[in-house]
Amino acid sequence: MVQPNFCSADNETIVENNGLLKVKGNRIVNQYGNPISLAGNSLFWSNDGWGGERYYSSRVVSWLKIDWNTSIIRAAMGVEDPGGYLSNRATNQERVKIIVESAIDLGIYVIIDWHSHHAEDYTDEAIIFFQEMATTYGHSKNVIYEIYNEPLDVSWSETVKPYALKVISAVRSIDPDNLIIVGSPEWSQRVDLVAEDPITSFENIAYSLHFYTVHHQKWLRDRASIALKKGIALFVTEWGSIGYQTVDAETDLWMSWCANNMISHCNWAVNDKTEEWSILVPAASTSGHWTDDELTKSGQLAKNIIKNWNK
Ligand code: MG
């Protein structure tokens, strides 16, 4: 049996093996042009005092890589809500940097997520933030920018897309090549609207698709399949199982769909808050080394999927 994630001087990391990710047609591909599907975790909102920020540590990222075989981690930087970037830039940005630098050290991919529901209201702030990130990390093959977590019930063509074009243009003036992921209306579910009017003036743009199995089933997979057929590339930057149980038939259907379409995914969320999607039980260690007893049922389910994902 192959030891997942066994790492020695002879074993290259997933980023060394696959290099900079690119969009090719409706697929994310590695440096050789081969489709790649990654599996990993999203951290919870980074906001001061919300609880999830306690897990923004290198030891957590390291443990997820070693014990879960996580190949991608998402830093979900809260923006406009209390305790977020707009009220405390230094603390939130520092948390993101800890995660990015840990991922680079460990050789896994990392998503820098502008975790906002109203990003079009703070376009200037997003540009400043992402230009700083691009300046600091744009040379790194590990880094992916996610410039709008979940737009609400707003227009794709009139609101989200114009915002995205401004931020992408600002990033591309510094970093010409790293992957950029864009959300879509209705909590990043309206990939059908994106497919009708995709961003064509920049390369290496993918679109997020979020699913929570309690809410989103075959109808969303069918919508996403049509969007793929129309030629856009998708990236599941958040997903959640039905929660509180280690078996979820709908999760199995979704994971088969991701595997068949070579789509990467990050499980929501590394946190100990009492809610169905947290992977950790309350007061679980903030430095990893979790026993199975410290994982929730949905955490155990997610671990089983991520650890055995080998696409
Ligand atoms: Mg670059």
The answer to whether residue 4 sits within a structural domain is no
Catalytic residue (choose from 53, 146, 150, 250): 150
Domain of residue 97 covers: 14-307
**Amino acid in position 95:** R
Where residue 104 sits, what CATH number does that domain have?
3.20.20.80
Given the residues 80, 238, 275, 276, the one annotated as active site: 238
* Integer CA distances (angstroms), 177 to 17, 85, 124, 294, in order: 18, 26, 22, 39
pLDDT score of 150 more than 60: yes
CA 143 / ligand 1 centre spacing (Å): 8
Residue 175 Cα, ligand 1 centroid: separation in angstroms? 5
- Does the residue 228 lie in any domain? yes
Per-residue confidence (pLDDT) for residue 245, from 0 to 100: 81
Does pLDDT of 77 surpass 70? Answer: yes
Does residue 291 lie within any of the structural domains? yes
* Alpha-carbon distance values, 282 to 49, 103, 138, 210, 286 (Å): 15, 25, 36, 25, 11
Does any domain span residue 125?
Answer: yes
pLDDT tens column, 202-217 = 999 999 999 999 999 9
| Burial class for 43, CB neighbours closer than 10 Å (0-12, 13-18, 19+) | buried
The tens digit of pLDDT for each residue in 57-71 reads 999 999 999 999 999
Q: Is residue 5 part of a domain?
A: no
Residues 7-48 have pLDDT tens digits of: 444 579 999 999 999 999 999 999 999 999 999 999 999 999
**Catalytic site includes residue 238:** yes
Give the residue among 70, 222, 199, 82 at the shortest CA–CA distance from 147.
Answer: 199
**Mean pLDDT, to the nearest integer, of 222-249?**
94
pLDDT of residue 279 exceeding 90, the answer is yes
pLDDT of residue 242: 80
Banded model confidence at residue 169, pLDDT cuts 50, 70, 90: very high
44: CA distance to ligand 1 center in Å? 26
98 domain-assigned = yes
Reported as type and span, the H/E element at residue 240 is: strand 234-240
Task: Tell me the pLDDT of the chain averaged across its residues.
Answer: 95
Residue 7 located in a structural domain: no
Domain count, the chain: 1
Find the angle CA(13)-CA(18)-CA(24) to the nearest 5 degrees: 155
pLDDT at 8: 43
Residue 297's pLDDT band (boundaries 50, 70, 90)? Answer: very high
Closest CA to 284 of 73, 54, 1: 54
**DSSP classification of residue 68:** H
Q: How many CA atoms lie within 13 A of 214 on its CB side?
A: 9
**Cα distances (angstroms) measured from residue 201 to each of 33, 149, 165, 181:** 21, 21, 8, 14
pLDDT value at residue 2: 40
Instruction: Please give the distance, rounded to the nearest whole angstrom, from the Cα atom of residue 134 to the centre of ligand 1.
Output: 8
pLDDT at 243: 74
Predicted pLDDT at 7: 43
Residue 192 in any domain: the answer is yes
pLDDT in tens, 191-204: 999 999 999 999 99
**Structure token pair of residue 171:** 């990033």
Q: What is the pLDDT of residue 1?
A: 37
User: Is 12 annotated in the active site?
Assistant: no
Taking a C-beta distance cutoff of 8 angstroms, is the pair 101, 69 a contact? no
Binning pLDDT at 50, 70 and 90, where does residue 246 land?
A: confident
Per DSSP, 241 falls in state -
